Amino acid sequence: MKKVSNRHPNFAIFAFSLALSLLVSTSLIAQDDAAAAATTEAAAPAGDGSPCGPGDVAKGKQLFNQNCAACHALERRMTGPALAGVATRLSEDEGLDCDWLYSWIRNSAGMIASGDAYANRIYNEYNQAAMTAFPTLSDQDINDILAYVEAPPPAPVAAAATAGAEGGKADSGGISNELILGALTLVFALLVMMLFLVNRTLRRIAEANGVVLEKEKAEKGLPIWKAFAQNQFLVLVTVIFLMLSAAYFAYGWFMQVGVDQGYAPIQPIHYSHKIHAGDNGIDCKYCHSSARVSKHSGIPSLNVCMNCHKSIYEYKGNPEGPSAEDLAMGYTNEFYTGEIKKLYEAVGWDEETQSYANEPKPVEWVRIHNLPDFAYFNHSQHVTVGQIECQTCHGPVEEMEIMYQYSPLTMGWCVNCHRETNVQMEGNDYYEKIHEELAKKYGVEKVTAAQMGGLECGKCHY
């Protein structure tokens, strides 16, 4: 894994923009409006295809997502069987009517216990995973769900077409940009050439006319560098200035050695914190659970990923589809789905049989935050006791497509925070007596970590 060197982001941006402005003239802001075509979903009409009676497809979809989607998909075997056309299938293949379905959904365990043949068959086929009972669903609710699952699933053709169109659009956008750039460069080159030619012609004419150019006259005077070299004071000031600035920059350079702020290595699996913590609003400590109790925040073990990714086997993106920005980076739905497959590969999950059938291959993440060994840091002290938001040190993780080191993680940075941050003492019995005494001693209500001894060497170095 190559480390992305990002130590002088400002300089890099500056140099890049300089090069760009030299290369391209000003009028290149002709950016096309990236109006993402909202793929309007074909509004499904109230279906009447369900054999159990009419139902509301929209309501059925909502109910399905609430109650069933954790274990069932429409077209795909998951923890439970695929449900598309389930009522029809049951009545046609097994001769089971809607009443069977109603009672199965409301109390599957009871049916298995009663010795119902098909109930037991399906129970054994799916590794004896008991289905949750839904006694609260009314007949009409079930009809709604069945109407949704009976309705022909949203045409995959349309989705493919949209995806294709998107791809095409992205491609065409790229080509046109390049074309414009090329044309402009050509025009610019022509202009430069013309200018040069004109200049040469004029000069030749002037020579022919015997005109002496101003510039050549001036050469007879004292050259400016000689004048500078003769002024000793100026030389001294310049030398001092140069030395000071060299020292300043050298100091700055040395101080950043070992500081990896902005370090954003390429990871074996492209894990997007933006999607998980931002779009889906998953709490940090759901996955990094040991941050609450341990010194390590812990990289989640893969079984934690599989809690959700057993059911989330493909990335569907925002309802509006991927933004132009994402597309430019190649973050298409297929790309993300491919990353989920990498997870399955690592954890040894076989999608066909829905089981951990393969040899697991643990993921070798590249560690981003590296405190030196001689510094002791404890997450739980800060997260649980200090009630500090993860973002205080790790930055806007919920916006990070690629995780990077937000803070410098230097001792000065730690110490500053300890000086400024008040200790969370309210409601913690441990601090009760200490707070009382400290408040008396300093005559203040709030006490900073530093006043509690948080700047002592031995608190972090032992």
Residues that bind another protein in the complex, under the rule CB under 8 A: 1, 3, 5, 257-258, 260, 265, 290, 293-296, 298-304, 346-348, 360, 362-367, 370, 372-376, 378, 380-381, 384-385, 427-434, 437-438, 441, 452-453, 456-459, 461-462
d(CA 133, CA 290): 33
Rounded to 5 degrees, what are φ and ψ at 63? Answer: -65, -40
Q: Minimum CB separation from another protein for residue 310, in Å?
A: 13
Q: Minimum CB separation from another protein for residue 456, in Å?
A: 5
Measured from the CB atom, the residue of 296 and 316 that comes closer to another protein is 296
Q: Minimum CB separation from another protein for residue 165, in Å?
A: 40
Rounded to 5°, the CA angle 93-94-96 comes to 125
Measured from the CB atom, the residue of 97 and 456 that comes closer to another protein is 456
Q: Minimum CB separation from another protein for residue 3, in Å?
A: 6
Q: Minimum CB separation from another protein for residue 130, in Å?
A: 22
Calculate the dihedral angle through the C-alpha atoms of 58, 59, 61, 63, rounding to the nearest 10 degrees.
170
Structure tokens at 206: 């002037």
Measured from the CB atom, the residue of 208 and 457 that comes closer to another protein is 457
d(CA 356, CA 222): 85
Q: Are 151 and 44 in contact (CB under 8 A)?
A: yes
Q: Are 265 and 368 in contact (CB under 8 A)?
A: yes
Rounded to 5 degrees, what are φ and ψ at 350? Answer: -100, 115
Containing 227, the helix (H) or strand (E) segment is: helix 224-230
Q: Minimum CB separation from another protein for residue 71, in Å?
A: 21
User: What is the per-residue burial (b if ≥16 Cβ within 10 Å, else e) of 91-112?
Assistant: beeeebebebbbebbbbbeebb
Measured from the CB atom, the residue of 282 and 306 that comes closer to another protein is 306
Q: Minimum CB separation from another protein for residue 428, in Å?
A: 5
Measured from the CB atom, the residue of 176 and 370 that comes closer to another protein is 370
Rounded to 5 degrees, what are φ and ψ at 332? Answer: -85, 170
d(CA 178, CA 166): 19
Q: Minimum CB separation from another protein for residue 218, in Å?
A: 44
Q: Minimum CB separation from another protein for residue 234, in Å?
A: 37
Measured from the CB atom, the residue of 3 and 446 that comes closer to another protein is 3
Q: Give the end-to-end CA distance of the chain in Å, rounded to a whole number.
A: 32
Measured from the CB atom, the residue of 316 and 361 that comes closer to another protein is 361
Q: Is 383 exposed, middle or buried (0-12, 13-18, 19+ CB in 10 A)?
A: buried
Q: Are 79 and 129 in contact (CB under 8 A)?
A: yes
Q: Minimum CB separation from another protein for residue 394, in Å?
A: 15
Q: Are 301 and 308 in contact (CB under 8 A)?
A: no
Measured from the CB atom, the residue of 33 and 359 that comes closer to another protein is 359
Q: Which residue has the tokens 């990353």?
A: 339
Angle between helices 139-150 and 98-106 (to 10 degrees): 110
Measured from the CB atom, the residue of 120 and 256 that comes closer to another protein is 256
Measured from the CB atom, the residue of 207 and 364 that comes closer to another protein is 364
Give the number of other Cβ atoms within 10 Å of residue 73's Cβ: 20
User: What is the per-residue burial (b if ≥16 Cβ within 10 Å, else e) of 416-437?
Assistant: ebbeebebebeeeeebeeebee
Q: Minimum CB separation from another protein for residue 430, in Å?
A: 5
d(CA 285, CA 132): 27
Measured from the CB atom, the residue of 84 and 302 that comes closer to another protein is 302
d(CA 377, CA 22): 48
